[in-house]
Amino acid sequence: MNHEAPKALQRPLTHFARLFLHRWPWMLAGTLLTLATLLANIGLLSLSGWFITATALAGLGLIVGLDIYVPGGGIRFFALARTLSRYGERLVTHEATFRLLADIRCWLFRRLAQQDPLSLGRLRGGDLLNRLTADIEALDNLYIRVIGPTIAALLAGLVAMALLGWVDGRMALVALGLLLVGALLTWDAARRGRRSGQRMSHLQPRFRAVIIEGVRGLAELRVYGGGERQRRLIGQHGRAWSQLQRRMAHLTGVGNALNGLAGQLALFAALILGLWLHQQQAITGPQWVLTLFALMGLAEALAPLPLAFQFLGRTRSAATRLLEQAEHPVQVHSPRSPQGMPERFDIELRRVTYGYHAGRPVLSNYSLHITQGRQLAITGPSGLGKTTLLKLLARLDDPWAGTIRVDGVDLRELALTDWHQRIGMLEQHAPVFSDSVAGNLRVAAPDAGEERLWEALRIAGLDERVRAMPEGLATWLGEAGATVSGGEARRLALARVILHDPDIVLLDEPAAGLDGDSARALAARLQHWLRGRTAIIVSHDPDWLPPMDAVLDWSRIDHR
């Protein structure tokens, strides 16, 4: 694991705040515009209050020689400045937030791409999706609602204190008191919302996973009568989620009430103090009103902070989850000084032991030798380690003991990227991307022309089906290949392997979902394509297989 990971997990928000620094021009511009909006609001309120009071007193003859043009111009300036700065603040802060979230998504995806598939496979689909979406989106609270507004409100508070201190130093104490109470309420909101926010962050991925799995497995749930159980499970998570939302809404209401009360108490204190100062002739009537309206503007600047910090616990929990996934130790990695790729691909397993759980090996002291250009079929029931063997050969994980050698070179001494370029693997759960047919195929060969695409589809036995689609190769397949059957999805994945043109072919149940005639037709096409390649085909049914150099009945081998 990265040595910075433990420290980062202790202070996850600080870690992401540092990631934000390269966007400092946008963040600084957004914060300055937020500050300008707050100052314009305070200036507009205080100057308007002073001007209205002064003109009223001038009308009564209590003020002589009042200049209405300068304060009138100031009011128009602050009104226009508030409108423009508010528009600019919304524009810049949201643009900054979108850029920051995009940076985090790219950063996380780069980290995930470096991890081995088995580590990623430990997460449920909904959980991983939640980390890529909701957890990242939760971080928008960090800048747009916490960092920027807090800095701007603090600076605006200092300016308000200076303004009130210019009127009378004792009035500045009221502003200081409002700032301190606002800070206390913000801290209390963060404390009260921490536990509920963390629970929301942990419940949301489970809730989403339950819904996604229910939708994807709807047909199976109907067939096996599991719909009612799934409905109860969704309802249980939904009620828990609603309870947390009600809890947060209650905290929001209490926080808003306390925040409003603090503002009113500050106004009342300024009212009483201002009355006494006015009686002492320390301030004028218009100055007294100016202080009241300035405090109103300061209270408005502090009002959003408790709500933002109330959800800081959820933001922190989301940041922790992202860091846990990003800093997850990579089990399989390239050596620092990899050896060159061998000229031959003779593969040898020497006393390999491997399993998924400690003390429960799937393979134990297993040995196998495959000469370059030979084709091997492995048959037998599920659960004996056939798929595990393919994963080890593809180096999706390393064996607990023993070695896998390629032309005498330990597989762990070869660069992962070089090895993966030489192999083509069809897994049991091959993905179909939300893309066109051509886009799915070009994952294996980005520069492949249409002729190569059609040839790969022909060998996989999918060309006629694609030609019948409305837009042929450009037909959009939908999320997880929603518009194709399971058998068609596997043949599309097989066509991707064929397009990759590998030296070593690893096929796990390539005929799954096909009837007997279709499977035998596929075998005939594969026979020609496999010529000269090293191949291992795993299948439950040996009847459909193309002619192989050897067929290994896995159930008759004492590989445990």
Each residue's pLDDT tens digit, 214-235: 877 777 777 777 888 888 888 8
Query: Computed from CA positions of residues 20, 22, 26, 27, in that sequence, does the dihedral angle turn out positive or negative?
Result: positive
Cα–Cα dist 393/363, whole Å: 13
List Cβ<8 Å contacts ≥24 apart for 453-459: 453/495, 453/499, 456/495, 456/496, 456/498, 456/499, 457/495, 458/525, 459/495, 459/498, 459/525, 459/526, 459/529
The rounded distance, in Å, linking the Cα atoms of 301 and 543 is 76
Q: Tell me which residue of 176, 163, 159, 175 sits closest to 283, measured CA to CA.
A: 163
State the sign of the Cα–Cα–Cα–Cα dihedral 200, 202, 208, 214.
negative
Give the chain's radius of gyration (CA, Å).
Answer: 34
User: Cα-flanking dihedrals φ and ψ of residue 540, to 5°?
Assistant: -75, -35
pTM: 0.74
Complete domains list, the chain, with CATH: 5-326 (1.20.1560.10), 347-556 (3.40.50.300)
469 touches 439 (CB < 8 A): no
User: What residues form DSSP beta bridges with 404?
Assistant: 349
pLDDT tens-digit series, residues 237-251: 889 989 988 998 988
First to last CA, the chain: 32
d(CA 417, CA 19): 28
pLDDT tens digit string along 349-403?
Answer: 888 888 887 778 888 888 888 888 898 888 887 777 888 888 888 888 888 899 9
pLDDT in 10s for each residue of the chain, 560 residues = 444 444 554 577 787 888 888 888 998 999 999 999 999 999 998 888 888 888 887 766 666 566 677 778 888 999 999 999 999 999 999 999 889 888 888 888 888 777 766 666 666 555 666 677 778 888 888 888 888 899 999 999 999 999 888 888 888 899 899 999 989 998 988 888 888 888 887 888 788 878 877 877 777 777 777 888 888 888 898 899 899 889 989 888 888 899 889 888 988 988 898 888 888 888 888 888 888 888 888 998 898 888 888 888 888 888 888 887 777 777 777 888 888 888 888 899 888 888 887 778 888 888 888 888 898 888 887 777 888 888 888 888 888 899 999 888 888 888 888 888 889 898 887 788 888 888 888 888 888 888 999 999 999 888 888 888 888 888 888 776 667 777 788 888 899 999 998 999 999 888 887 788 888 888 889 888 988 889 999 888 888 888 888 888 877 665 44
Partners of 535 in the β-ladder: 375, 505
